[in-house]
Chains A and B, each alone.
Chain A
Amino acid sequence: EDSVPRQKVEIDNKIALERIRDTIKLDPALAWTETLAVTYPETIDVDVDDDLNRELAFYKQALHGANTARSLAAKHNLPFTRPADYFAEMVKSDAHMERIRQRLLDESASIKRSE
């Protein structure tokens, strides 16, 4: 009655994957400013369950990416930093940011109270 555990078939058709990538590949002559993609020269090698170190590793990757991109942008004459007098709609609304601020204030207040 015991069912034999079915082994999952692993498929990893490297030749096909490479061929497919070739068909969709972007033009190599494309300037960096068209995609804005950068590669982090390290792999993320931390314990998955260690939240703090994991997030730190992601942060480091993003920081490296931001700095690399800024020097690349300077090389390509791409405007990077937003001038202080440039205003436009943001992703999170002012009301939402206010709620975030209020929450931070509430949190610090409750910490002070308990001290």
Chain B
Amino acid sequence: MAAIHFGYTISKPRAIDLDRNNLRKSDEILREMPELQTCIGCGSCTAVCTAGNLTEFNFRKVHTLVRRGEYQGAYEEMNKCMLCGKCRLVCPRGINTRGVVLLIKRKLGDF
């Protein structure tokens, strides 16, 4: 059966074992930016993202993975951000998203 292509795909199912991941960096990030814990994962940030419009960059995905201790590739992904700040304007929880990008880059520069 020919599937209809809507222009997006579903992420592959995966399991993250929080007991095995090292959450030290994640804790540091949340300590400096506690408001990130209020994220409801609505994805508005990703929907309006200037960089996300042109590439695979997905802010919600990256910061969610970082909070779960999955740091691999997060720095490189965050470097795709142009810091334009649209995400901050649409965030329903008023999270300082640009600050989050800069913070994650600062904390995970060597991962």
Q: Does A associate with B in a complex?
A: no
